[in-house]
């Protein structure tokens, strides 16, 4: 007979049944929840001086949760945003346990009363046009790897894709039309799919990468012929930005990453006069509030102003329940504006 006081019993049901079968969250979200418990349970066991498999619900007291959150910030150097994300997972777990076990309703209320911390939003860093042009000119396009690097950098800027999204693009996600343009299917967060229309120049640079290859293979490969990873893309962007910084000193003061290029795409689209709703769909944002950080900032600054956030966000369960329908952005809506900022 199941021990309803055991932490293991409720963690298993929460991770394996509730998240997977009832909520149907994405694998990335499942991994995020799991990682929280991989950190939290050993911490509680050490504090209670017992084994993980012997923990009971009452061991997870509000003071233990608060101590765990402090441990994340001090011992692991986690940001306040990460701290709040871990707490949101514990709140969701407490709510699930309280809903299915009335005897733990009081414990559920105590855990959910552990507050989020206020945090300042991270300033948005983006590149000016000359700062973007320099890394694009850095790859040696006489070599195959140089051609791939240039095509990848151009693709990131053109599509505004996240690094994780770029590595998931396969050849069959690309379509061409008679004019030499086409579209690319991007698989975003939470199973969201969006269709973006690349420039003709981008499609031309991608063409040599796919010649003679199977359509179900990844678009971007490493030097060994395997799919690139997001860490590989991060290293590639940083390497070419470092090389370009010799000519453009202002790059040394900025952290160059795939997400910096994504911020650059959004900021340049705003400057080009593209409608904010179109940019939201282009970047795959669920909420317009996320896109508005680009519209609310001064166009003459390279760093956005931080804004105070309470840290209390919608629960992860509610977030995954709001997955958007697959969407696309009409090419005619964006291409005239984008061509004005083509490097």
Verify whether residue 254 is a known catalytic residue.
no
Q: Of 162, 168, 240, 263, which residue is the catalytic one? A: 162
Q: What is the pLDDT of residue 330?
A: 46
Note the pTM of the prediction, 2 decimals. 0.68
Both structure tokens of 240: 């070419």
Q: Which residues of the chain have pLDDT under 70?
A: 1-3, 296-343
**Which residue in 343, 156, 194 sits closest to 184, CA to CA?**
194
3-state SS of the chain is CCCCCEHHHHHHHHHHHHHHHHHCCCHHHHHHHHHHHHHHHHHHHHHHCCCHHHCEHHHCCHHHHHHHHHHHHHCCCCCHHHHHHHHHHHHHHHHHHHHHCHHHHHHHHHHHCCCCCCEECCCCECCCHHHHHHHHHCCCCCCHHHHHHHHHHHHHHHHCCCHHHHHHCEHHHEEECCCCCEEEEEECHHHCEEEECCCHHHHHHHHHHHCCCCCCCECCECCCCCECCHHHHHHHHHHHHHHHCCCCHHHHHCCCCHHHHHHHHHHHHHHCCCCHHHHHHHHCCCCHHHHHHHHCCCCCCCECCCCEECCCCCCHHHHHHCCCCCEECCHHHHHHHHHCCCC
Per-residue model confidence as pLDDT tens digits over 24-52: 888 888 989 999 999 999 999 999 999 99
How many angstroms separate the CA atoms of 278 and 274, rounded? 7
**Dihedral sign of CA atoms 293, 296, 299, 300 in order:** negative
Q: What is the pLDDT of residue 298?
A: 53
Q: What is the pLDDT of residue 14?
A: 97
Verify whether residue 262 is a known catalytic residue.
yes
Q: Of 33, 96, 150, 294, which residue is the catalytic one? A: 294
Q: Of 189, 240, 263, 280, which residue is the catalytic one? A: 189
Q: What is the pLDDT of residue 297?
A: 60
Q: What is the pLDDT of residue 104?
A: 94
The residues, ordered by sequence, that sit 6+ positions from 76 with a Cβ below 8 Å of its Cβ are none
Structural domains in the chain, sorted by start: 7-117 (1.10.150), 129-339 (1.10.443.10)
Q: What is the pLDDT of residue 7?
A: 95
Verify whether residue 91 is a known catalytic residue.
no
Q: What is the pLDDT of residue 143?
A: 94
Verify whether residue 268 is a known catalytic residue.
no
Verify whether residue 189 is a known catalytic residue.
yes
Q: Of 83, 148, 285, 297, which residue is the catalytic one? A: 285
Q: What is the pLDDT of residue 15?
A: 96
Q: Of 259, 271, 312, 313, which residue is the catalytic one? A: 259
How many angstroms separate the CA atoms of 118 and 285, rounded? 23
């Amino acid at each position: 007979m199941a021990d309803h006081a055991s932490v293991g019993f409720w963690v298993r049901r929460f991770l394996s049944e509730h998240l997977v079968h009832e909520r149907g969250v994405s694998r990335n979200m499942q991994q995020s929840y799991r990682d929280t418990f991989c950190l939290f349970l050993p911490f509680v066991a050490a504090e209670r001086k017992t084994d993980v498999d012997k923990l009971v619900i009452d061991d997870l007291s509000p003071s233990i949760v608060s101590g765990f959150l402090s441990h994340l910030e001090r011992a692991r150097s986690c940001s306040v945003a990460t701290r709040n994300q871990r707490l949101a997972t514990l709140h969701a777990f407490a709510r699930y346990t309280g809903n299915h076990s009335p005897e733990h309703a009081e414990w559920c209320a105590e855990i959910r009363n552990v507050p989020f911390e206020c945090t300042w939003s991270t300033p948005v860093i983006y590149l000016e046009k000359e700062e973007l042009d320099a890394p694009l000119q850095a790859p040696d396009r006489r070599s195959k790897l140089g051609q791939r690097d240039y095509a990848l950098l151009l693709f990131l800027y053109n599509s505004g894709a996240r690094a994780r999204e770029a590595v998931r693009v396969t050849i069959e996600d690309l379509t061409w039309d008679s004019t030499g343009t086409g579209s690319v299917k991007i698989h975003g967060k939470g199973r969201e799919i969006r269709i973006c229309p690349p420039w003709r120049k981008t499609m031309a640079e991608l063409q040599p990468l796919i010649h003679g290859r199977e359509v179900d293979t990844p678009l971007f490969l490493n030097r060994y012929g395997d799919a690139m990873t997001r860490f590989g893309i991060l290293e590639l962007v940083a390497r070419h930005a470092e090389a370009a910084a010799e000519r453009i000193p202002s790059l040394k003061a900025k952290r160059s990453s795939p997400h910096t290029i994504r911020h650059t795409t959004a900021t340049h689209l705003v400057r080009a006069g593209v409608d904010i709703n179109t940019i939201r769909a282009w970047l795959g944002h669920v909420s317009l509030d996320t896109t508005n950080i680009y519209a609310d900032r001064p166009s003459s600054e390279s760093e956005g102003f931080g804004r105070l956030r309470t840290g209390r966000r919608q629960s992860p369960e509610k977030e995954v329940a709001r997955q958007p329908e697959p969407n696309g952005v009409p090419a005619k809506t964006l291409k005239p504006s984008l061509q004005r900022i083509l490097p």
